[in-house]
């Protein structure tokens, strides 16, 4: 028989029974970084919470045999989603089953509720991680990955909607120099926010989009390049001083997780990046010994880091005026700008003079 409500309690012995004296768990506080997790959907595909950094994420923790879960999803969540957020790329709903339900049991739940969004199974380990005392329990995660709202049954739809809308419309001050790249008439703009996450917005030829967080913990200005239509690669220094990268292949509809490219940027400097063609890109940093260091991507293979020499006193800048040609610029110890060019092979450094 389906229970009216599944209450998840911490067992102190195998013979413990439900008691009114068991204290309720406090939900995670607003502002705390939401614990990351990795679970499978019903098709066996893996999803991580961090995959949705930059979006407002609504997580519905449910039990497949929980009548209040069925009622809340059918009466509150599904109508809210269908009316306001079904086609909103900045909001991601996720349901996580925490009562060890099998695929058939979860599919039965979906038939009863009409839930159309992503559903993940195997979430029982998250009961303690997210301090879930009962189901359903709801969390809203902001674009930077922090808890913005938590509530237990029943869902207050007005509070939920106002929280989502406020997070969508919120902005954060820019604390770094911006980076930009263009794809036809579309311009993508990136900058480090006050929370040290990467933020981006794009111009579609008519209007600017609302800024959205792409997460991360930057310690430098970003660099961006677009090797092909719909493809954008962004780079920045992380807290470990290495170069980190994030990529989209569909114009920003979805982004990869951050991944490290290694290297070691000089403190206070940022990277440079350029693309010669659709199958290659190059990144540059002021690295060990203040030399210019370089790494390139050809197809799907990254080269090792290599030094191009020099004695830089600034972050580099790079551009590719033609296929197979790269020009890199940086300030030297004399305060002038210096240039190094690749055209089948790298040239020596040449002074461009003072500005």
pLDDT tens digits for range 248-290: 999 998 999 999 999 999 999 999 999 999 999 999 999 989 9
> Where in the sequence is the domain holding 256, given as residue range(s)?
179-353
Whether residue 183 sits in one domain with residue 128 = no
Do 303 and 295 contact (CB within 8 A), yes or no?
Answer: yes
Domain boundary among the residues 169, 203, 219 is at: 169
Q: Are 152 and 189 members of one domain?
A: no
Of the chain, the end-to-end C-alpha distance in Å amounts to: 79
H/E segment holding residue 105: helix 103-113
For residue 5, tell me if it sits in a domain: no
The tokens describing 107, both together, are 């599919």
Is 1 part of a structural domain of the chain?
A: no
Residue 230 sits in a domain whose CATH number is 2.120.10.70
**90 and 219 part of one domain:** no
17 belongs to a structural domain: no
DSSP type of residue 349: -
Residue 22 in any domain: the answer is no
Q: What is the CA radius of gyration of the chain?
A: 24
Q: Note whether 154 and 192 are same-domain residues.
A: no
Q: Is residue 248 within 8 Å of 232, Cβ to Cβ?
A: yes
Domain count, the chain: 2
Task: Tell me the DSSP string of 248-270.
Answer: ESSTTSS-PPPEEEE--PPTT--
Are 147 and 224 within one domain? no
Q: Are residues 61 and 85 in the same domain?
A: yes
Is 161 in the same domain as 278?
A: no
Are 192 and 335 found together in one domain? yes
The string of pLDDT tens digits covering residues 119-170 is 999 999 999 999 999 999 999 999 878 999 999 999 999 999 999 999 887 7
Give, as one character, the DSSP assignment of residue 4: S
Interval 290-338: pLDDT, tens? 999 999 999 989 999 999 999 999 999 999 999 999 999 999 999 999 9
Q: Are residues 271 and 228 in the same domain?
A: yes
Question: Looking at the structure, do residues 89 and 232 belong to the same domain, yes or no?
Answer: no
Phi-psi region of 326 (alpha: psi -120 to 50; beta: other; left: phi over 0): beta
């Amino acid at each position: 028989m389906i229970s009216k409500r599944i209450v998840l309690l911490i067992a102190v012995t195998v013979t413990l029974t439900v008691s009114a004296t068991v204290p309720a768990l406090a939900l995670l506080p607003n502002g705390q970084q939401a614990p990351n997790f990795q679970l499978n959907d019903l098709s066996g595909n893996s999803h991580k919470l961090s995959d949705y950094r930059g979006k407002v994420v609504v997580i519905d923790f449910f039990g497949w045999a929980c009548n209040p879960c069925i009622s809340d999803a059918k009466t509150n969540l599904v109508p809210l989603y269908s009316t306001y957020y079904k086609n909103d790329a900045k909001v991601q709903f996720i349901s996580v089953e925490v009562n060890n339900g099998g695929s058939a049991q979860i599919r039965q739940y979906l038939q009863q509720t009409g839930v159309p969004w992503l559903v993940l199974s195997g979430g029982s380990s998250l009961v303690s991680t997210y301090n879930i005392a009962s189901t359903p329990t709801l969390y809203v995660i902001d674009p930077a990955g922090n808890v913005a709202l938590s509530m237990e049954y029943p869902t207050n739809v007005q509070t939920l909607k106002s929280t989502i809308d406020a997070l969508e419309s919120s902005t954060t001050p820019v604390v770094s120099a911006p980076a930009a790249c263009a794809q036809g008439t579309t311009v993508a703009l990136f900058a480090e926010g006050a929370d040290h996450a990467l933020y981006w917005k794009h111009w579609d030829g008519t209007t600017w989009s609302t800024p959205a967080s792409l997460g991360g913990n930057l310690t430098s200005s970003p660099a961006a390049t677009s090797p092909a239509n719909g493809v954008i690669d962004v780079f920045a220094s992380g807290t470990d001083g290495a170069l980190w990268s994030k990529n989209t292949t569909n114009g920003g509809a979805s982004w990869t997780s951050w991944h490290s490219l290694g290297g070691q940027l000089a403190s206070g400097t940022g990277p440079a990046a350029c693309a010669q063609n659709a199958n290659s890109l190059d990144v540059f940093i002021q690295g060990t010994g203040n030399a210019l260091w370089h790494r390139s991507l050809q197809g799907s293979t990254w080269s090792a880091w290599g030094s191009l020499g020099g004695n830089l006193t600034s972050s580099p800048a790079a551009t590719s005026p033609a296929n197979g040609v790269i020009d890199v610029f940086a300030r030297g110890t004399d305060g002038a700008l210096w240039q190094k060019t690749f055209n089948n092979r790298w040239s020596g450094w040449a002074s461009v003079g003072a500005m």
